[in-house]
A and B are shown apart, each in its own frame.
Chain A
Amino acid sequence: MNSVLTIDSAIVKAIVAHARRDHPDEACGVVTGPIGSDVPTRHIPMDNAARSMTFYEFDSMEQLRVWREMDDNDEEPVVIYHSHTATEAYPSRTDVSFAGEPGAHYLLVSTREPDVEEIRSFRIVDGVVTEEEVNIVDATVDA
């Protein structure tokens, strides 16, 4: 499958800022968009309920609230992101075993280098990881 994630630079900037802010703990969140559009428009930083340097987990009650909101707005999770704080931006075995949104782009940010932005995106479907291109575009939405 040849796919690409097209995402606004303001959203990418906000995701990287979130990851830097929470470093050395892992940061996580979601970017929602209209169902079927494949366009991420609304950035929602989530709490990492695990507050860990090697694990992240959405708080289950926050997730319910956000997923209901998406339902009400006819949105879906277009991007699910998290950071790795000491390793590369590539899905770990844990990431793969948990990946439960086959329609989402799994975006990983590594904050291991303070001055280098490392952002990569993947599809994870039935345990199979496929890297895709990240196409960063300018100013289509407010992050």
Chain B
Amino acid sequence: MAIEVRVPTILRSYTGGSKVVEGSGDTLSGLIDDLDSRHNGFKGRLITPEGGLHRFVNIYVNDEDVRFLGALDAKLNDGDSVTILPAVAGGALGFAAAAALLGPSHRSAATRKRTEGR
């Protein structure tokens, strides 16, 4: 058995147009490495150069957001279903804040933003 991964439109250029692909791994991180070995470039769209989960995607294991399951360390089992969706966000952020979001440190800025919002 394997792990089923549902791929959003914006990432299907990496999967030859496939909406669903299969992979394997004990953790989300392992699964992403496995997928990247067959779909070159996939990993770069999900993980930042600093090694964190990318801000522009939401990843779910079955019905849970992986941010609540340990992010890249989230445990996976055969038969799990992983869903990737583009995060839908934006807004008229101030210029400095937008620059921070777009810059190399964008992830920490975004995380702060997320915390503020709760």
Q: How far is the CA of A102 from the CA of B10 in the complex (A)?
A: 7
Chain B residue nearest to A76 in the complex (CB): B9
Q: A54-B94, A97-B101, A102-B9 are in contact. Are A60 and B117 (CB under 8 A)?
A: no
Return B4 CB to nearest CB of chain A, in Å: 13
Looking at the complex, which one of A55, A57, A85 makes contact with B88 (CB distance below 8 Å)?
A57
B-side contacts of A64, CB under 8 Å: 58, 60, 63, 65, 83, 85
Establish whether residues B10 and A82, one from each chain, have CB atoms under 8 Å apart when the complex forms: no
Q: A92-B98, A93-B98, A101-B10 are in contact. Are A61 and B65 (CB under 8 A)?
A: yes
Chain B residue nearest to A80 in the complex (CB): B88
**Interface size for chain A: under 10, 10 to 19, 20 to 34, or 35 or more residues?**
35 or more
Within 8 A of B (CB), among A18-61: 26, 28, 30, 46, 49-52, 54-58, 60-61
B-side contacts of A94, CB under 8 Å: 89-93, 97-98, 101-102
A-side contacts of B114, CB under 8 Å: 50, 57
Within 8 A of B (CB), among A52-109: 52, 54-58, 60-61, 63-64, 67, 80, 82, 84-87, 91-103
Q: A64-B60, A98-B87 are in contact. Are A57 and B117 (CB under 8 A)?
A: yes
Looking at the complex, which one of B10, B92, B113 makes contact with A87 (CB distance below 8 Å)?
B92
B-side contacts of A82, CB under 8 Å: 90-91
Establish whether residues B98 and A50, one from each chain, have CB atoms under 8 Å apart when the complex forms: no
Establish whether residues A58 and B89, one from each chain, have CB atoms under 8 Å apart when the complex forms: yes
Establish whether residues B9 and A55, one from each chain, have CB atoms under 8 Å apart when the complex forms: no
Tell me whether B44 is interfacial, beta carbon within 8 Å. no
Return B70 CB to nearest CB of chain A, in Å: 15
B-side contacts of A67, CB under 8 Å: 83, 85
Q: How far is the CA of A142 from the CA of B99 in the complex (A)?
A: 41
Q: How far is the CA of A101 from the CA of B89 in the complex (A)?
A: 11
A-side contacts of B8, CB under 8 Å: 100
Q: A54-B94, A60-B65, A92-B98 are in contact. Are A100 and B88 (CB under 8 A)?
A: yes
Q: How far is the CA of A98 from the CA of B102 in the complex (A)?
A: 10
Looking at the complex, which one of B60, B65, B88, B91 makes contact with A92 (CB distance below 8 Å)?
B91
Looking at the complex, which one of B63, B83, B117 makes contact with A55 (CB distance below 8 Å)?
B117
Establish whether residues A28 and B102, one from each chain, have CB atoms under 8 Å apart when the complex forms: no
Establish whether residues A58 and B9, one from each chain, have CB atoms under 8 Å apart when the complex forms: no
Establish whether residues A98 and B89, one from each chain, have CB atoms under 8 Å apart when the complex forms: yes
Tell me whether B17 is interfacial, beta carbon within 8 Å. no
Establish whether residues B92 and A85, one from each chain, have CB atoms under 8 Å apart when the complex forms: yes
